[in-house]
Structure 1
Amino acid sequence: MIRTTPFHARLSELNDQQLYTHWQGTLSPMRYSHAPKHEYFAVRNSAGVFDTSPLYKYAVTGPDAERLLSGALVRDIRTCRPGQAQYTAWCDDRGFVMHDGVAFRHSTDDFLLTAGRPALSWFQELAAGLRVELEDVTDDYGMLAVQGPRSRAVLAELMPEAEKLGYFDHVPAKVADAGVTLSRTGYTGDLGFEITVPADDALAVLDAVLEAGRPHSIRPFGEEALMTLRIEAGLPLVDVEWHDARLAFSDADCVTPKELGFGWMLRGVRDGSRRFVGSDAIRRELVDGTSRWATTGIVVDPEDWDRLYREADLFPPKSEHPWPYESMVLDEDRVEVGYCTSFVYSPVLQRHIGIARVRPDLAAAGTALRLELAINHHNTTVRVTTTSMPFFDPERKKA
């Protein structure tokens, strides 16, 4: 059965394309207009709204809620205070990443965990014998992302809490007489917020946001614009940068947190002071230095890109549509040393950029490599340089 979100009735009226994809069985707009680049620039220059309701949402409550999550999540949830949120991930016993999500802590023993793929049964298995309750509340709430440099001004018209809300903090608020949770979170790498609202109040809240955003030219954006935004932000995506370790056909499709660029989440793992599912395997990887890959950003040499296409009598493309496939990364001797998982032309940076996985010894910023591409049915390579991520990181994001 195809499902729709609590915001669908209103957002579908604003969608003149009626092009949808399925996000875990729920309709999700690809774009709202003929040009997703217009939606992209709304986020980078003003404000846009994205329906994140298809995210799975799990309420985790009870005296052992923190104990369960600290033994399951890669990032140490014990450092998350009430009113804060953490981006995190979880792994299998071998230390390979399964899913990622955001944990919102409401009180000592009350959490809300979001996930892009279903994960309830796995957490239920870990909760056996603990004083904790797990409830799937996915259908009970809508989630609306309001993103862009004017997002704070838009939401401050409705919720004064938006003015001083810190990065990855959240607070209860009220919009259109509805109780909501306002969080300083998002998936665009820009200043942004998300509103979690009871499903029955979703349309009233959306209408209020759109009306407050009218003077700021707010507009909805779909998944096509979001893909460019998240690559600029250096944010990984399940089934693109990695695959659920439980569903992967081989270890070649599996990745550890360190290999995925999540090494910053692993405090307390190397010395064994913190344990969670997969931590023993991850500790061995860190101590023995056995990581197969390192995740890095790559930036294309624009002169080399233009030369390759012009020599083929073609106009050098600058498409904001990400490549739908992986491409090999090679060293200067044309030896394969990794692969690019996401690649796109960044309109705001005016450069071709990508998220790549390369040999750890080649991941340092400034390393010269080559990216494989096909021109006129012939494989060739273009010069690229490794760089740190995010590619786009405005001060307003955390200010």
Structure 2
Amino acid sequence: MTLHSTLRHFEQPLMKTPFHPRTEAANKLWSWGNWGGYTTVLTYDDLSMEHSAIRNTATVYDLCPMIKYRIEGPDATAYLQRLTLRNVAKLSVGSVQYTAWVNDAGHLLDDGTLFRLAPDRYRLCCQERHLNWLEDSAFGFDVTVTEETEQIAALSLQGPTSVEVLRLAGFDVSALKPFRMAEYGFGEGRLMVSRTGFTGDLGYELWTIPDQALRLWDILFDAGQLHGIRPIGSEALNMARIEAGLIITGLDFVPADACLREDRLRSPLEMGLGWMIDWDKGHFTGKTALMGQRDQGPKWSFVGLEIDGNISAEGAILYHDRKTEVGVITAAIWSPALKKNIAMAQILTRHVTGGNIWAEIYALRELHYEKLMMQARVVERPFFNHPRRRATPPGRF
């Protein structure tokens, strides 16, 4: 999109993704939001039906605003070993890795997915923009970091019938394993399909060039007519990701480079991401600080909760014995799939076990708020964990 050079930054409209002609036509509620400077749909027409489609049919979500970096060069692997928490050397070509990275003090900057496209070429996808950090971290490495967000059209196709939709569209992905990807001929270019997603269910992400975007959308919806395909917005996706127990930067934790208060900084150990740290791979940014926290024990923990009642507890303060503040809920819903009141929360580690945790919920009832103190129980994440997410082939639904 070309903006007139005389426009000041606050006068510039949000950019439109390559799929905007289709998303605009389908957005019956005219419900829009800002994601990374792009116009994105919040809800198309019915939030309950959009969530139901994620769990029962097939859904399409516009991923174009997600930040994407191409990392390439002879030292690309060594650079990513230094930058991220996981062992990139174990990531084979054609595979995807969920990972995260921290600053020198061990505080989380962001999490994301790392795609190994070739021996010396990767794609890193994340929520926030980090080009300055990535470039500064590249000092001494023979590597090039390029933001390619605008050069890629991406869709998320999720749900139990998604594999059948792709088959009817001409892409047989039945043998594709989780966190793997494959390429197919598509028009005058290529289509990359990865078995990844943010719903905790069977699903795929599709990657092509902007010129092929509308063709891809139309092919999927033609193929999915008998399989209940429908577009979904960010609100339905948020419901599914909470059921899946997945975190979002800026919602479940504040990225270190945007955090104004020292006591709001969080480490991967405090956000339930300690499992991904490879302590034996050699030095990486933040390792010394994280080893100290590991040995001492993290002050905070990130947990899943089940809460009494059916009023969503988003933003609720947590108390021990109804009187001592011990944490805060960062994401919560009444889960339609589980028929439970679930939440994710930051809580002081010393209160994770032992029970007697209460959530202070304010319920709006006919223009008045009523304070509810509801008991909460720490439970394992993910809340929703269907076997089809990992089955290969996924099977028919």
Distance 1:161 1:120 in 2: 36
Distance 1:295 1:369 in 2: 14
Which deviates further from its counterpart, 374-383 or 332-341?
A: 374-383
Answer yes or no: is the 8 Å Cα contact 1:155–1:212 preserved in 2. Answer: yes
Give the AA of the match of 1:19: S
**Per-residue deviation at 1:67?**
0.8
Q: How does 1:17-28 map to 2 (within 5 A)?
A: 17-28=29-40
Question: TM-score with structure 1 length normalisation?
Answer: 0.90
SS at match of 2:83: coil
Q: How does 1:1-399 map to 2 (within 5 A)?
A: 1=12, 2-33=14-45, 35-176=46-187, 178-268=189-279, 273-289=281-297, 291-301=298-308, 305=309, 323=314, 326-332=315-321, 334-364=323-353, 367-375=355-363, 376-399=368-391
**Per-residue deviation at 1:209?**
0.9
Q: Deviations over 1:324-361 (max 9, x none)?
A: xx221112353222111111100011111000111223
Q: Are residues 378 and 38 of structure 1, via their aligned partners in 2, closer, same or farther at CA, if it must alter by over 3 Å?
A: closer
2:8 alignment counterpart:
none
SS at match of 1:168: coil
Distance 1:163 1:341 in 2: 36
Answer yes or no: is the 8 Å Cα contact 1:240–1:341 preserved in 2. Answer: yes
SS at match of 1:4: coil
Distance 1:51 1:393 in 2: 24
1:311 alignment counterpart:
none
SS at match of 1:122: helix
Distance 1:395 1:121 in 2: 40
SS at match of 1:258: coil
SS at match of 1:179: strand
Task: Give RMSD over aligned pairs.
Answer: 1.6
Q: Are residues 380 and 318 of structure 1, via their aligned partners in 2, closer, same or farther at CA, if it must alter by over 3 Å?
A: closer
- Where does structure 1 lack aligned partners over 5 or more consecutive residues? 306-316
Answer yes or no: is the 8 Å Cα contact 1:368–1:386 preserved in 2. Answer: no
Give the AA of the match of 1:349: L
Identity %: 31
**Per-residue deviation at 1:378?**
4.8
Q: Are residues 159 and 122 of structure 1, via their aligned partners in 2, closer, same or farther at CA, if it must alter by over 3 Å?
A: farther
Answer yes or no: is the 8 Å Cα contact 2:300–2:348 preserved in 1. Answer: yes
**Per-residue deviation at 1:244?**
1.3
**Per-residue deviation at 1:362?**
3.1
Give the paired residue count.
375
- Where does structure 2 lack aligned partners over 5 or more consecutive residues? 1-11, 392-397
